Structure 1
C-alpha cells in the first residue's frame, strides 16, 4: 500500500513538472500554425505601416525565444480544456496537478500575476484563486489517454468575449449581425489579426464554451458541417472588410481565421457567443498516455 502511494506521488510530481514547463512554453512560443499564418499574412500585407507591424511581431517572437521569456506581458488567465480517458490513472488528481503547475510556472517562467480575488480585491500573486484556473472537462469512454488544451486568456482579447440568446426569428442572419457588431466594437482593441471563435448552441453558457473550444482548433481548420463552414468563410470575409489590419492600424486582413463550433439547440432559441484570440494566440495541446509519456501537438521541439 505504501509503495502504491509512493508511486502515485512520484507520478503526480512528474506530471506537475511537465505541465509547469508546458505552460511556460505556451507563454513563450506561439503554436506552429499561428506562426505560419502570421508569416503568410505578412507577405500579403500591402500597407507600409502594416508591414512594419508584422516585422515587429516577428522580432518580438525571436526575442522571446532567445531570452526564454513570455512573448506578451499579459500572460492571461490560465484555462485548461481537458479530454480525459475514464481509465487515465491520475484522473482524480488532475485539478490539483494543474493548480500546482500554474503556481510553479508563475514563479519559474515567470508569469504576470493575474488572479485577483473578486470582492476581496487582492492579487494572490500565484495566478490561482477561488475557482481558478478555469478547467473544463470532457470524459472519453474506454480510453486511458489524456489531452490538455492549455490557453492563456488575455485581458484585451479572449476575456471580453460576449454571448447572448437570439429569438429564432432572427435566424442565422442574427448570428452574423451579432458577430460583426462585436468585432466592430472591440475587435480593434484585441490586438489583430485575430482568431475568432464563434459558438452557436442553445443558451449563453453552451455557446460561450463552444466559442472557447473553437479557439483551440488549428488556424485554417474547417467545421465538418458544410453550412457551418460556409458561415466561417462568410464571417472571415466580412470581418476582413472591416479593415482593422495588424494591431488595428489598418491593413489588408483583420483575422487569421474564423472557427465556428455548434451544438443542437432548443427550437425557440439560438445561443451565440464570440471569443477572440489575439495575434499572440498562446494555446497549446499536450497528450499523455497512461505511463505519462507525452507528445506536444502544437509546438515543435521538446520541453
Structure 2
C-alpha cells in the first residue's frame, strides 16, 4: 500500500505522461472544428496528418510531439490540503518518474553550464506557480508541457499609457507576424495585462490554462479577444504556417488591475499540440479531471 505522498506522486507522473500523449478533449474538438471548416487544400492535408499523428501517439503510447517541453505546474491549493507541504517536492519527483516511464525528451539544460540533467529537472525546473486557497482541503493542479516552438514567441513589455489598448493590439500583431510561424499553428494565444512585466507574463500563462472556447468575463476584454482572433486569422498563417483561413484556436486575455501610468502586456502561445492538463484532488486523493476524459489511474 502506497503512502499518500507516494500515491499523489504516482498519479501526477501518470497524468503528466498522459497529457504528453493525448491532447485535451477541448483541443481535439477545436482542431476537428477547424479541420472541417478549412477549405485550403494544403491545410486540409496538414490537418489529416495531425490527426493521424494523434492516432498513432495513442496506439503506440508515445508523446504526440517529439518536443515534450519543460514541465510547468500551476497549483491552486487549499491550506487544509494534507499534502501541501510535500507538494512541490513530489511534483519534481513526478516529473522525473514521467521522464523515464512515458518517456519524455530530456529538456532541462542548466543555463551557462550547458549541461542537460537528463531528468527534466534542474535549477527552478519544473516551474511551480502557487495560488493558496484559504479554508479549503482540495488541490487543483494544472500541468503544462511548454515546448521550444510555442515558447519562442513569448514576450512581455510595458507600454506607455498614451499607447492605450491599441498598443496591446499592435504588440500582439507584431509578435504574430514575426514569430507566429515558429510555434506550429493553429495557436492558442494567451495575453496578460497588468502593471509590470512579471504580472502580465503570469496572467498570459494562466490564460493558456482556460478551456479553448472560453471568453473573458469582462465584455470589453472578450470583444478584444474576438477582434484579435479575427485579425490573426486574417494573416493567413494556416496550420503549420503553410497557409489557410484559420491560424488560431482562440485568443484568451487575463488581466489584473494596473497602475494608471503604465500598461504591462505579455504574450504566451500554445501550439496546436497544446498539452495542458487539469486535475483536482480532494483530501483523500480522489480526483477528477475535466481535460482528459480518457485518463485512468490504477494503483499498483
Q: TM tier, shorter chain?
A: over 0.9
1:18 lines up with 2:11 in the alignment: yes
**Pairing partner for 1:292 from 282, 285, 291:** 285
- Once residues 131 and 51 of structure 1 are traced to their aligned partners in structure 2, the CA distance between those partners, rounded to angstroms, is 40
Is the 1:153–1:159 Cα contact (8 Å) retained in structure 2? no
Q: What RMSD over aligned residues (CA atoms) do the two structures have, in Å?
A: 1.0
Residue 95 of structure 1 corresponds to which residue in structure 2?
Answer: 88
- Once residues 227 and 141 of structure 1 are traced to their aligned partners in structure 2, the CA distance between those partners, rounded to angstroms, is 31
Is the 1:74–1:112 Cα contact (8 Å) retained in structure 2? yes
- Once residues 153 and 187 of structure 2 are traced to their aligned partners in structure 1, the CA distance between those partners, rounded to angstroms, is 14
Shift of 1:125: 0.0
CA deviation profile, 1:222-266 (whole Å, cap 9, x unmatched): 100010101100100110011100000000110000000000000
What SS does the aligned partner of 1:110 have? Answer: coil
- Once residues 197 and 217 of structure 1 are traced to their aligned partners in structure 2, the CA distance between those partners, rounded to angstroms, is 9
- Once residues 287 and 281 of structure 1 are traced to their aligned partners in structure 2, the CA distance between those partners, rounded to angstroms, is 20
- Once residues 143 and 152 of structure 2 are traced to their aligned partners in structure 1, the CA distance between those partners, rounded to angstroms, is 15
Structure 1 gap ranges (5+):
1-6
- Once residues 268 and 132 of structure 1 are traced to their aligned partners in structure 2, the CA distance between those partners, rounded to angstroms, is 34
Residue 161 of structure 2 corresponds to which residue in structure 1?
Answer: 168
1:133-148 equivalences in 2 (<5 Å): 133-148=126-141
- Once residues 32 and 246 of structure 1 are traced to their aligned partners in structure 2, the CA distance between those partners, rounded to angstroms, is 19
Residue 250 of structure 2 corresponds to which residue in structure 1?
Answer: 257
- Once residues 252 and 288 of structure 1 are traced to their aligned partners in structure 2, the CA distance between those partners, rounded to angstroms, is 40
1:1-303 equivalences in 2 (<5 Å): 10-301=3-294, 302-303=296-297
Shift of 1:120: 1.2
CA deviation profile, 1:31-77 (whole Å, cap 9, x unmatched): 00000000000011111100000000000000000011100000000
- Once residues 160 and 98 of structure 1 are traced to their aligned partners in structure 2, the CA distance between those partners, rounded to angstroms, is 27
CA deviation profile, 1:93-120 (whole Å, cap 9, x unmatched): 0010100000000000000000000111
Is the 2:153–2:182 Cα contact (8 Å) retained in structure 1? no
CA deviation profile, 1:114-157 (whole Å, cap 9, x unmatched): 00001111000000001110000000111000000000001011
Shift of 1:297: 1.4
- Once residues 32 and 114 of structure 2 are traced to their aligned partners in structure 1, the CA distance between those partners, rounded to angstroms, is 41
